[in-house]
Each structure stands twice: as structure tokens, then as C-alpha cells.
């Protein structure tokens, strides 16, 4: 099958290496109705018609990637000519809020769609087939970010699962009119069927009681409308300030999420204060979460840039530790791209996984395989997508990324660990059994 013929259904992908198989073995993946029909030993003598087949050329194929947490409306503000005057000077959180607030006052549908479309296109080329896209809802932007996000969701529905999170970055109970306008707008957003997630930032409230009320209100609304819940929580590092996670879990239990949530997921992002936890606090957290469908999402690029104490202590959730030592489901994600909260980085989730090797001192083969999961299967689980695994098995969605070019030679990446160490720039993306992007063909990465 030629790269010049994208979006054509595939019956098989042949001559590929698999993550859970010996590097020397080659396999054929049969596809039916967008799912894996079978995985069999590669036999060149029994290949399908070339028009229905993608020859993998001895390359590694692995589950596709996922953005568990990405702000689609605030991306590329530093690069976009419309906002070129809004540049970083101090690099702190207050400046980021101010610059972003000024940018939001200028948002219109054209620039929201232009920047959002670029983010999704580049993500797909990197192998992303699912993302949780945050769109802000408040008195400044009203519902324009939401409308743009919903348009992009529909536009890319055959190439990527774009899950829309209506997000209250501004206070729900503080500030102008005590947050009444934001609550009204969020209530309207929650009534939209295509909005799958509701989110808020309790730490922006004026005091602890209002932060708790923020959690209580958004959790009740999510339960009422049967949405996933995503909270930006405990975005600070000072040990003398108590984390809100304990009250948050109590509120979730009091509102009986386990009985009324209908399988919807709860995601807690940032949570940098938890990095100061001692062993007994991690043990308590594991007990408090219990069987609740809670996942943690670390956002290391934003956290390392934004989050520091007066003594320059920095912190981001120890994701591999949360998984291996405490039994949580956890993922890592990009969060922001090209704005005052995170001016560096790109749309490739594997760049974050690679950073995790040094950040978490996770350099073994098993560590690297786990880091791949945090931007793939574990990331999808965190946002409520259909569960998958690194072992490509019958019945799973036929959503893959194929690494390297056919002429990569000895440097061809033969394992997931090699991909996390250095993912390279050549990839093909398959979504629901269709070749939807090739970095080689498009000439970008």
C-alpha cells in the first residue's frame, strides 16, 4: 500500500515486529471492522492483495499514543503572529495567567481552529489516535473555545478520538460575581452531549473552603450529567500548605461516585504537592482511593517550568513510583504547547516518555516499557477510552504506530524500549484499521 493513498481500509499489516515478541520474529496482523482479527507468524507466501495490505518492512508496530491531558485552545500562542506581542519576561505562574488572559480576550473562531487543527494534525503524525482536549469556559471566552473544540472533534472523528473537556480555569466561587457566570456557562457546557468531561482548578479559589466548594459543585455536575471528571489539583510545593486531595476524595465518596458514576473516570492532574509526601502518606492515599476509578496524570514539562519554591525546589508527580510501588493507574502528558505555561516541547507524547527516563531515573528495559504505557495504554485508561495493552491481541482496536522507515538498517528500532530511548522521526499512524498519517509522506514530524 502506497503512502499516497491514506485513509484506505487495511485487511492486514504484515512483516512487523511486536512489542511483546522476540525482536527476531516477524508477524502479520489481520484486521476486520477496525479491530485486530488475529496475530499470526508472518508468511510472505500467503499475503493479501497489495492494495489491502501494508508491508511493515521489518519495523516495530506498537499501540498508538494518547494525550491524556492537553489544552487545545491555548496552544501555539507564542508562535502565532496574532499574539506575537505576548512574550515571556519573568516566566512565573502569575505572568502566564496574565498573558494567557490577554490572549483569550482576542480569541476568535478562526485562530482557535487554526491553532487547534495544527495541534491535532501534528499529534496524529506522531502516532496519537486519542486525546483529552481541554477547552476553557468562562466570562472572557464564553463558549467560543467549546464551539471550536466541538467543531474540531467532528472534523477529525475519522482520524482521532478527540475527547472534549469543558474546563473552568477561573474560579467557580471567587472573583467577579462570586463565579456565578462561570458556573452558569459550565452548566450550559455540561448539557452538551458531545462534551464528555468536566474539569476545574480548585486551587485558583480565594480560600480553602471555596476550593472545597469548587470540587463539590463540579463533581455533582459531572454525576448529574454522567461525565468524566478531571481536576487540576494541588498545584504547589510548600509543605506547610495542606493538599486538597484528602478533602477531594472525601467529597467524591460522600457524593457516591462509586455507585452513581456509571463507570466514568476521575482524573487528578498536576498534584505537585504530593511530591513532598512521605511513605505513610502514600500508603494512606492508596487506602483512601480504594476502588474509586481514580487516575493520576503527571505533567512534567509544565511542572518543571512553572512549579518551584522560593528555594528553587521543583517537583512533578513520580509517575513510575505511583504505578510500581503504590498500584495506581497513572499517565504522563504534554499539557501545554507553545504558551507561557510551557513554551518548549512539541506534540509528541514520546518526548515526555523519554524525559521520564532521566526524571524518574527509569532507564531499564522494563522502565522504558512502562513509560511507553504511560503515553499509550495507561493514558487511554486514564481518560476512559477502551482498554488496550502492549500485547496486541484479537478484539482490540486496530490503532497503531509503525516506527522507522524501511531503509533504517541496523538502527531500526526493534523494541519499545528503543523507541522510548529515541523515537526517531519516521512514523505511520493507523486508526481503526486505516492508515491515516505518515510522517515520511507528509514531510513533517
54, 70: one domain: no
Here the CATH number for the domain that contains residue 30 is 2.30.40.10
Q: Lowest-confidence range among 56-60, 294-298, 352-356, 396-400?
A: 56-60
Say if residue 89 is in the same domain as residue 35: no
Give yes or no for residue 356 having a pLDDT over 70: yes
- Asked, for residue 374, whether it belongs to a domain, the answer is no
Task: Tell me the pLDDT tens digit for each residue of 335-346.
Answer: 999 999 999 999
> Do both 342 and 396 map to the same domain?
no
User: CA 275 to CA 239: how far, in whole Å?
Assistant: 10
Range of 404's domain?
12-63+390-442
**What's the half-sphere exposure (Cβ side, CA atoms, 13 Å) at 320?**
20
Cell numbers at 226, concatenated: 454522567
Q: Which residues contact 24 (CB under 8 A, 6 or more apart)?
A: none
Q: Please report which confidence band the pLDDT of residue 4 belongs to, taking 50, 70 and 90 as the band edges.
A: very low
- Domain membership of residue 307 (yes or no) is yes
Burial class, 24, CB count within 10 angstroms (exposed 0-12 / middle 13-18 / buried 19+): exposed
Same domain, 37 and 69: no
pTM of the predicted model as reported, rounded to 2 decimal places? 0.94
Q: What is the pLDDT of residue 48?
A: 59
311 shares its domain with 171: yes
In a domain, 5, yes or no: no
Residue 370 lies in a domain: no
Q: Per-residue pLDDT for 440 more than 80?
A: no
300 and 401 belong to one structural domain: no
Strand order across the beta sheet in which 161-168 lies? 65-71, 128-136, 161-168, 195-200, 228-233, 266-270, 294-298, 329-332
Does any domain span residue 1? no
- In this structure, is residue 316 part of a structural domain? yes
Question: 261: which 3 cell numbers?
Answer: 458514576
Q: Residues 279-289: pLDDT tens digits?
A: 999 999 999 99
Both 54 and 136 in a single domain?
no
How many structural domains does the chain have?
Answer: 2
Task: Reply yes or no on whether the pLDDT at 232 is more than 70.
Answer: yes
User: Is 261 in the same domain as 339?
Assistant: yes
Together in a domain, 55 and 131: no
- 252 lies in the same domain as 340: yes
Do 299 and 418 reside in the same domain of the chain?
no
367 in a structural domain: no
- Reported confidence tier of residue 3, pLDDT bands at 50, 70, 90: very low
Amino acid at each position: 500500500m502506497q503512502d499516497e493513498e491514506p485513509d484506505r481500509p487495511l485487511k492486514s499489516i504484515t512483516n512487523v515486529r511486536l512489542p511483546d515478541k522476540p525482536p527476531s520474529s516477524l508477524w502479520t496482523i489481520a484486521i476486520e471492522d477496525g479491530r485486530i482479527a488475529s496475530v499470526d507468524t508472518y508468511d510472505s507466501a500467503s499475503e493479501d492483495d497489495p492494495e489491502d495490505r501494508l508491508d511493515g518492512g521489518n519495523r516495530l508496530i506498537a499501540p498508538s499514543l494518547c494525550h491524556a491531558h492537553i489544552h487545545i485552545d491555548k496552544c501555539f500562542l507564542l508562535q502565532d503572529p496574532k499574539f506575537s506581542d505576548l512574550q515571556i519576561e519573568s516566566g512565573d505562574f502569575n505572568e502566564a495567567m496574565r498573558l494567557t488572559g490577554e490572549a483569550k480576550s482576542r480569541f476568535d473562531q478562526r485562530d482557535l481552529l487554526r491553532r487547534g487543527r495544527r495541534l491535532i494534525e501534528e499529534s496524529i503524525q506522531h502516532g496519537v489516535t486519542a486525546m483529552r482536549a481541554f477547552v476553557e469556559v468562562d466570562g472572557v471566552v464564553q463558549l467560543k473555545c467549546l464551539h471550536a473544540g466541538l467543531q474540531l472533534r467532528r472534523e477529525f472523528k475519522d482520524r482521532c478520538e478527540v475527547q472534549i473537556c469543558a474546563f473552568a480555569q477561573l474560579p467557580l466561587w471567587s472573583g467577579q460575581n462570586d463565579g456565578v457566570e462561570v458556573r452558569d456557562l459550565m452548566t450550559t457546557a455540561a448539557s452538551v452531549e458531545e462534551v464528555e468531561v468536566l474539569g476545574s482548578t480548585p486551587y485558583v479559589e480565594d480560600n480553602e473552603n471555596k476550593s472545597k466548594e469548587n470540587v463539590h459543585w463540579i463533581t455533582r455536575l459531572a454525576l448529574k450529567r454522567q461525565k468524566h471528571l478531571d481536576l487540576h489539583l494541588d498545584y504547589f510545593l510548600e509543605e506547610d500548605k495542606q493538599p486538597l486531595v484528602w478533602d477531594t476524595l472525601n467529597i467524591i465518596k460522600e457524593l457516591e461516585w462509586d455507585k452513581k458514576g456509571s463507570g466514568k473516570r476521575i482524573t487528578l492532574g498536576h498534584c505537585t504537592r504530593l511530591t513532598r509526601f512521605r511513605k505513610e502518606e502514600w500508603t494512606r492515599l492508596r487506602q483512601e482511593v480504594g476502588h474509586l476509578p481514580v487516575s493520576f496524570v503527571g505533567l512534567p514539562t509544565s511542572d518543571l517550568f512553572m512549579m518551584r519554591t522560593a528555594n528553587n525546589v521543583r517537583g512533578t508527580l513520580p509517575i513510575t513510583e505511583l504505578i510500581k510501588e503504590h498500584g495506581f493507574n497513572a499517565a504522563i502528558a504534554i499539557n501545554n504547547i507553545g504558551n507561557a505555561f510551557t513554551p518548549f516541547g512539541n506534540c509528541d507524547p514520546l518526548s515526555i516518555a523519554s524525559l521520564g527516563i532521566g526524571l524518574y531515573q527509569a532507564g531499564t528495559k522494563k522502565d522504558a516499557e512502562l513509560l511507553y504505557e504511560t503515553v499509550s495504554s495507561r493514558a487511554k485508561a486514564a481518560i476512559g477510552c477502551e482498554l488496550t495493552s502492549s500485547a496486541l491481541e484479537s478484539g482490540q482496536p486496530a490503532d497503531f504506530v509503525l516506527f522507522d522507515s524501511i531503509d533504517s538498517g541496523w538502527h531500526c528500532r526493534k523494541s519499545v524500549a528503543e523507541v522510548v530511548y529515541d523515537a526517531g522521526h519516521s512514523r505511520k499512524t493507523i486508526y481503526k484499521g486505516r492508515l491515516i498519517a505518515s510522517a515520511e509522506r507528509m514531510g513533517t514530524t
